[in-house]
């Protein structure tokens, strides 16, 4: 059975109208009288009067609706259906912002959040700028992408902090030109050190694509604020619903990759062999809500998903590619490369081979530019400086090799 829940709205203290958080002023603003209230003032009033606030109990929608809940709008009484982890919504009938306090009680209460810094209008503008000028984009996509459906969502994230240690040994080589020979110096390098990491994020919503959420990073975690339910009106919000162990593993792998790369960057020469031992110790885990403008649109019988970091304005999403335009790019690249190479080389076989390579590279770059979404491999933006307790570079030998003609 789907459980019953209650929903409420945060009302204006002057006229009783619906208060919604306005990113442009950082306050809750009444849509009727324009009265402004800080989130702290609204939260204090909510805590004081929450037992008196009118709420609506949800109905039971039967045994076949385990993943859904019905909530009554506290403004107009309309019944809204939402997924069981929905924590804030907007009534489609009256536009009232509705919060489900029970979703943020006890162990599931977030520790912190980052407020939205961009309005819906600004998000729409960012989206149009994102696909503007993309030469390979089908014209019909730009004309029919329903950008007005973009929604502001507080997405649940888990934030991991701790310390990572590394003990590593590298064999590297440097090369010097000695006329007809190359002198190769071989070094044995030892590194032992550690690095602190803070608030490495992994999204904790099953229905949000991990790669899309990774791609809108980084967030400025210095702007984290204590969780306050008064930031939610005007936006959607979800509750964490993932396996925390798997998210911890994701964060651990990102930190592991970063400390290896940071340590390798301290080696001056080309690394030929490496032996690295890394340990990642997570000492703190927090539950946060981070702001995301999210758009799902249908085109050409496919679903296209886009997201914008609601704090920084970074917009991301894979775009469709017009096959004809891509083919045209490849052909033009081939022709230009062929003309240039023939003037330089004067050999038809070499010209054709080089032009094919150039055209393939051009096509690959063009296609890749339309597919920027990818899973995060590292946690570099959330790492402190690498501290090395041991750093040695010993020359262990030299040799000479004749240059290859």
pLDDT in tens, 362-389: 999 999 989 999 999 999 999 999 999 9
Residue 39 or 246, more confident:
246
pLDDT at 89: 62
Mode of pairing for the β-strands spanning 225-226 and 387-402: unpaired
Residues 362 and 296 in one domain: no
C-alpha 112: how far from its chain's center? Answer: 18
Q: Is the pLDDT of residue 355 over 70?
A: yes
Residues 275 and 347 in one domain: no
Of 97-101, 228-232, 296-300, 325-329, the poorest mean pLDDT is in: 97-101
Decide if 183 is inside a domain: yes
Tokens of 298: 């249908």
DSSP 180-206: TEEEEEEEEEEEEEEEEEEEEEEE--T
pLDDT at 131: 86
Number of domains in the chain: 3
Decide if 115 is inside a domain: no
Residues 111, 113: Cα–Cα separation, whole Å:
7
Residues 216, 164: Cα–Cα separation, whole Å:
25
Q: Is the pLDDT of residue 94 over 70?
A: no
Q: Give the CA-trace dihedral at 93, 95, 100, 101, to 10 degrees.
A: -150
Decide if 382 is inside a domain: yes
Residues 329 and 234 in one domain: no
Distances in whole angstroms, Cα of residue 157 to Cα of each of 90, 222, 242, 253: 22, 16, 10, 17
Residues 136, 141: Cα–Cα separation, whole Å:
11
* Final residue of a structural domain among 90, 109, 128: 109
pLDDT at 83: 60
Decide if 142 is inside a domain: no
Residues 209, 296: Cα–Cα separation, whole Å:
12
Decide if 255 is inside a domain: yes
pLDDT at 342: 85
Residues 285 and 309 in one domain: yes
pLDDT at 239: 79
Tens-place pLDDT, residues 166-215: 999 999 999 898 888 888 999 999 999 999 999 999 999 888 899 999 99
Residues 382 and 349 in one domain: no
pLDDT at 56: 42
Residues 305 and 382 in one domain: yes
pTM flag (> 0.75): yes
Q: Which of 123, 116, 110 shows the shortest CA–CA distance to 157? A: 110
Residues 356 and 278 in one domain: no
Residues 180, 338: Cα–Cα separation, whole Å:
34
pLDDT at 39: 82
Secondary structure of 154-184 in the HEC alphabet?
Answer: EEEEEEEEEEEEEEEEEEEEEEEEECCEEEE
Q: What average pLDDT score do residues 145-150 get? A: 76
Residues 199 and 348 in one domain: no
Decide if 257 is inside a domain: yes
Residues 248 and 358 in one domain: no
Question: Can you give the residue range of the structural domain that contains 330?
Answer: 323-369
Q: Is the pLDDT of residue 54 over 50?
A: no
Of 68-82, 183-197, 304-318, 339-353, the poorest mean pLDDT is in: 68-82
Residues 245 and 293 in one domain: yes
Whether the upstream peptide bond of residue 218 has omega within 30° of 0, thus cis, is yes
Q: Is the pLDDT of residue 404 over 50?
A: yes
Q: Are 86 and 205 in contact (CB under 8 A)?
A: no
Q: Share the mean pLDDT of the chain.
A: 83
Residues 258 and 162 in one domain: yes
pLDDT at 71: 59
pLDDT at 64: 41
pLDDT at 217: 95
Residues 167 and 308 in one domain: yes
* Final residue of a structural domain among 79, 109, 139: 109
Decide if 332 is inside a domain: yes
Q: Is the pLDDT of residue 6 over 80?
A: no
Decide if 1 is inside a domain: no
């Amino acid at each position: 059975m789907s459980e019953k829940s209650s929903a409420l709205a945060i009302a204006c203290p002057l006229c009783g109208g619906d208060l919604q958080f306005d990113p442009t002023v950082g306050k809750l603003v009444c849509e009727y009288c324009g009265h402004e209230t800080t989130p702290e003032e609204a939260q204090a009033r909510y805590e004081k009067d929450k037992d008196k606030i009118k709420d609506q109990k949800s109905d039971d929608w039967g045994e076949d609706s385990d993943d859904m809940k019905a909530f009554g709008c506290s403004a107009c009484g309309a019944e809204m259906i939402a997924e069981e982890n929905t924590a804030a919504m907007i009534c489609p009938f009256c536009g009232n912002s509705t919060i489900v306090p029970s979703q943020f009680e006890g162990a599931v209460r977030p520790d912190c959040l980052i407020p939205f810094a961009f309005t819906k209008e600004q998000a729409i503008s960012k989206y149009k700028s994102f696909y503007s000028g993309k030469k390979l984009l089908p014209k019909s996509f730009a004309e029919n992408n329903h950008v007005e459906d973009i929604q502001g969502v507080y997405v649940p994230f888990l934030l991991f902090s701790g310390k990572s240690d590394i003990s590593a040994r590298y064999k590297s080589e440097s090369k010097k030109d000695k006329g007809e020979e190359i002198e190769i110096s071989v070094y044995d390098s030892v590194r032992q050190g550690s690095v602190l990491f803070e608030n490495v994020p992994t999204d904790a919503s099953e229905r949000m694509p991990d790669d899309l959420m990774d791609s809108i990073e980084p967030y400025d975690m210095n702007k984290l604020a204590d969780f306050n339910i008064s930031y939610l009106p005007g936006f959607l919000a979800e509750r964490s619903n993932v396996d925390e162990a798997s998210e911890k593993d994701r964060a651990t792998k990102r930190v592991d990759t970063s400390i290896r790369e940071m340590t390798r960057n301290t080696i001056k020469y080309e690394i030929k062999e490496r032996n690295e031992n890394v340990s990642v110790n997570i000492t703190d885990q927090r539950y946060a809500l981070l702001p995301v403008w999210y758009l799902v649109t249908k085109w050409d019988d496919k679903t296209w998903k886009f997201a914008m970091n609601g704090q920084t304005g970074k917009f991301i999403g894979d775009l469709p590619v017009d096959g004809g335009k891509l083919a045209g790019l490849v052909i033009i690249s081939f022709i230009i490369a062929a003309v240039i190479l023939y003037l330089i080389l004067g050999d038809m076989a070499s010209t054709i081979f080089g032009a094919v390579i150039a055209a393939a590279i051009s096509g690959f770059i063009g296609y890749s530019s339309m597919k920027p979404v990818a899973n995060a491999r590292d946690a570099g933006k959330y790492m402190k400086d690498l501290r090395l307790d041991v750093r040695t570079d010993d020359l262990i030998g030299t040799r000479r090799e004749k240059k290859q003609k």
